[in-house]
Amino acid sequence: MILIIYFCYNHNRLTLIKNNLILAIESSCDDTAAAVLNNRRVLSNCIHNQNTIHIPYGGIVPELASRAHQSKITPIVNQALYEANIDKKDLNAIAYTQGPGLLGSLLIGSSFAKSMSLALKIPIIPINHMHGHILAHFIENNNYEPPKFPFIGITVSGGHTQILYVNDYFDMKIIGNTLDDAIGEAFDKCGKRIGLSYPAGQQIDELAKTGDSKKFSFPISNLSGYNLSYSGVKTAFLNFIQNKENKSPNFIKENLNDICASLQYTLTKIILIKIEEIASDFNVNKIVIGGGVSANSELRKQLKNLSSIKKWNLFLPPLEYTTDNAAMIGIAAYYKLRNKKFGELTEISQPRLKE
Ligand code: KG4
Ligand code: ZN
């Protein structure tokens, strides 16, 4: 019996070792994350979220984020290896986020990855965080076939609002971009004004469920061309709240659910209009969405409605891969490892990394 168990265990390990084993690290913002992937399969996906550190400040404090990454990166990497049942000596490559993101946060992940690659004598694979949000759809999943190229990719997060034409794994052209605030940033800043803690997106989503989205109306910006803007609606919202509060100090408390539903309707409508325009102009019917705001239930519902009307093939990520995670960095690295596209130790972190 013991022999059989021993054989199975080692057989499993040998099967894994023959394939690509990647340790991936994500530290672009306020989540310290590590994952282990065996080809497209996620063996572990661990995250240390820093929300409790930043909540008292109502937003991310970059200096505190870097310090927290520094103290958490070793335990999170160890946890990812432990949960994957992988010895670090069996790894074939180490992936990390090269950008975009906060410089101090990116530096912790890249320095850690480089040191580990030197010690283990294995390659590093620098990854663009935004590619990770899109390529998360290629993680092995029994219920889910990955999208076929080309498709329209949408990344909606706290730092980005982009619409991309995705030709291949690393051939993505930005068609539309926010000219000012990101959609997640608008959720968070408006949420802060009505007393919600950072990050407010998920709380607004919850509160909106029992609210009336038509109760209040805010301007729905629609720029000509494919770019978007969120600063106008944010300012209009802040002024609206101020005016209402001047007349009735309990306005927020008495209308919280309706305020959230109306705000959420407006913020999602702005991007939905652009997606519709772009899908029609580029004649592409595959729509793939990623990033923290792709967890939003109103956005998901409206995208499903539009898809059935427009006959789109819609790809919504599993919730665990919407907000920042290291599995999405690992899957992007897998497609680089397949083609032996490795990084150099001299590679620098790029806070404003684009396509
Ligand atoms: O992708 P992500 O984890 O980090 C960045 O790359 O920015 O996205 C975080 C953003 C935050 O702004 C957060 O409020 C928003 O995603 N978010 C949501 C929801 N869950 C997270 N926004 C709206 N509805 C949600 N359910
Ligand atoms: Zn992100």
Indicate if ligand 1 lies below 6 Å from the C-beta of 207: no
Query: pLDDT tens digit string along 23-64?
Result: 999 999 999 999 999 999 999 999 999 989 999 998 899 999
Does the reported pTM lie above 0.85? yes
CA 337 to chain centre: 22
Q: Is the pLDDT of residue 307 over 70?
A: yes
Average pLDDT over residues 95-107: 97
Nearest residue by C-alpha to atom 22 in ligand 1: 201
| 278 CB-near residues (< 8 Å, 6+ apart) | 152, 163, 175, 176, 226
Which helix (H) or strand (E) is 321 found in, with range?
none
Query: pLDDT tens digit string along 212-267?
Result: 999 999 999 989 999 999 999 999 999 999 999 999 999 999 999 999 999 999 99
Indicate if ligand 1 lies below 6 Å from the C-beta of 199: yes
Please state the φ and ψ torsions of residue 268, each to the nearest 5 degrees: -75, -35
Distance 14 CA to ligand 2 centre (A): 34
Percentage of residues of the chain with pLDDT beyond 90: 90
Location of structure tokens 């944010």:
234
**Predicted confidence band of residue 18 (pLDDT cuts 50, 70, 90):** low
**Predicted confidence band of residue 142 (pLDDT cuts 50, 70, 90):** confident
Indicate if ligand 1 lies below 6 Å from the C-beta of 30: no
Distance 187 CA to ligand 1 centre (A): 8
Indicate if ligand 1 lies below 6 Å from the C-beta of 296: yes
Distance 101 CA to ligand 2 centre (A): 9
Indicate if ligand 1 lies below 6 Å from the C-beta of 205: yes
- pLDDT at 7 (0 to 100): 39
Domains in the chain (CATH in brackets) are 5-137+323-338 (3.30.420.40), 149-317 (3.30.420.40)
Task: Measure the CA–CA gap between 117 and 338, rounded to whole angstroms.
Answer: 18
Distance 292 CA to ligand 2 centre (A): 6
Burial (Cβ within 10 Å: 0-12, 13-18, ≥19) of residue 346: exposed
- 156 and 294 Cβ atoms separated by less than 8 Å: yes
- pLDDT at 1 (0 to 100): 44
Task: Measure the CA–CA gap between 297 and 186, rounded to whole angstroms.
Answer: 16
Mean pLDDT for the chain overall: 93
Task: Measure the CA–CA gap between 151 and 314, rounded to whole angstroms.
Answer: 10
Task: Measure the CA–CA gap between 23 and 31, rounded to whole angstroms.
Answer: 16
CA 149 to chain centre: 20
Side chain identity at residue 266, one-letter code: T
Instruction: Among 161, 323, 329, say which to mutate for ligand 1: greatest number of ligand atoms within 8 Å of CB.
Output: 323
Q: Is the pLDDT of residue 66 over 50?
A: yes
Q: At what angle do helices 201-208 and 297-310 cross, to 10 degrees?
A: 70
